[in-house]
Amino acid sequence: QVQLVESGGGLVQAGGSLRLSCVASGSISSINTMGWYRQAPGKQRELVAAISTGTRTKYADSVKGRFTIARDNAKNTVLLRMNSLKPEDTAVYYCSAARDGSSWFRYDYWGQGTQVTVSS
């Protein structure tokens, strides 16, 4: 089993920045791809960004150029740096981890989520 704990959410004004952090524990060696999803009220959960065990990354079109995902394998941590935040970025953000690295959209483990609220 893998446990994921997110931190770093909060309230920020439009145009501001936040950094989300996710620390993994447990069966770390089984983790391949890691990602960040978000879910806004009344909307489906969507992939925001993902990163392989190497340097391959994937971003949602809506966050390209504003968000950056990074991974520190030594610290079992994945970060999401969010710049130029918009009110539409408001959502609960979830960290995720996959045993299989063949898909950007299939994950086995999930964190509890951290709220990000962007005021206009």
What would the DSSP string read from start to end of 27-67? SGGG---EEEEEE-TTS--EEEEEE-SSS-EEE-GGGTTTE
CB 97 within 8 A of CB 51: no
Q: What is the mean pLDDT of residues 98-109?
A: 92
d(CA 33, CA 89): 23
Average pLDDT value for residue range 73-83? 94
pLDDT at 73 over 90: no
Residue 55 pLDDT > 90, yes or no?
no
pLDDT, averaged across the chain: 96
Q: Give the pLDDT of residue 57.
A: 97
What is the arithmetic mean of pLDDT over 27-42?
Answer: 94
Is 30 exposed, middle or buried (CB count within 10 Å of its CB: 0-12, 13-18, 19+)? Answer: middle
Per-residue pLDDT band at 35 (split at 50, 70, 90): very high
CA-CA-CA-CA torsion sign (23, 113, 117, 51) = positive
